[in-house]
Amino acid sequence: MHIKSPEEIDFRTGKPHVSFSEIRCWKECAYRHKLLYIDKIGVDEPSPYLSYGTAVHEAIEAFLNTGNMDPSIAISMIESEWEKHGFESKEFNDAHAAYRKSQGWKPKPYPPLHEWKEYALTALTELPPFLKETFGDYEVVSAEEQLYEYYPESDIFFKGFIDALIKTKLRGKDVYYVIDWKTAGDKGWFRNKKQDILTWGQIALYKTFWRNKLGLDTKQVRCGFVLLKRGAPAEKVCELVSVSVGPKAEEKSMAILRSMIKTVRRGIFLKNRNSCLFCEFKKTPNCPGG
């Protein structure tokens, strides 16, 4: 099999690879994917939720690499991001309220800065004992493991970052866990989200490409999301959402990847009007009738 170099790949986005976030966008609405990834129209707007999630991820990565949990890493980043983007300013919050009103949604103000810092402190303090209790004497294999794997069937590279890879013992045998950290509200995820392929498809693809790279059997690798719930009681702030990813689930996620590459190369960009509600292109000239 000839493994191409990235320079040999021709894809409409101008990139030789796809990520799960791009696949998810396409699955939700192929037309929105076209606007964002091919027409390059979208602009990344700052968000307290994104900044908070990034800060928490940074602190966890440092913990996995050093064995020392330091919540101040996240708290310092949160303070810096809030100052940089003015998340507490009247202008930012007025603009946020105006946008929600323009979309027909009820006003929903963001929590104040001190609450975000409390969320981070609680989650990061509770995480180390939670991992010990859940996985026993585990070994950190890697933090932020990069995937950049060629998939010949679709002539594309798959790009991703696995938040954590750990090894532990299960009935005396070595088992690897592919873990993805997710920040969430105080109630966590409802059942429909846990069962949605656009949720578990991410970790299924990560498992498939990583285990194939190392030549591991599917039974040797397990998957799970660790939820870090904002505002939940300390004893409930961490939750493991296990994901059963056997051969059928792996193939189902790979089928979505193949379908995405095939239809994008054919130039098929259908609108999914069921995904309009939270789309940034709703009621804009870029999506007439959206």
Residue 67 has φ and ψ, to the nearest 5°, of 85, 0
Using DSSP bridges, classify how beta strands 238-243 and 139-151 pair: parallel, antiparallel or unpaired: unpaired
**Closest of 64, 260, 264, 26 to residue 162, by C-alpha:** 64
Per-residue pLDDT, averaged over 159-167, amounts to: 98
Q: What is the DSSP string of 135-186?
A: HSS-EEEEEEEEEEEEETTTTEEEEEEEEEEEEEEETTEEEEEEEEEEEE-T
Of 99-108, 136-145, 179-188, the least confident: 99-108
- Decide the pairing of beta strands 17-18 and 156-170: parallel
What's the pLDDT score for residue 271? Answer: 92
Helix (H) or strand (E) holding 227: strand 221-229
Parallel, antiparallel or unpaired: strands 17-18 and 139-151 = unpaired
For residue 76, the model assigns a pLDDT of: 98
CATH topology of domain 15-35+137-283: Lambda Exonuclease; Chain A (3.90.320)
pTM value is 0.93
Lowest mean pLDDT among 65-79, 94-108, 209-223, 248-262: 94-108
User: Tens digits of per-residue pLDDT, 36-78?
Assistant: 999 999 767 889 999 999 999 999 999 999 999 999 999 999 9
* Domain spans in the chain, listed from the N-terminal domain onward: 15-35+137-283, 45-135
Instruction: Kindly tell me if the per-residue pLDDT of 2 is higher than 80.
Output: no
- pLDDT per position as a tens digit, 82-139: 999 999 998 888 887 887 777 677 778 889 999 999 999 999 999 999 999 999 999 9
User: What mean pLDDT do residues 150-177 have?
Assistant: 95
CA nearest 223: which of 188, 255, 175, 184?
175
**Structure token digits, residue 61:** 């990565």
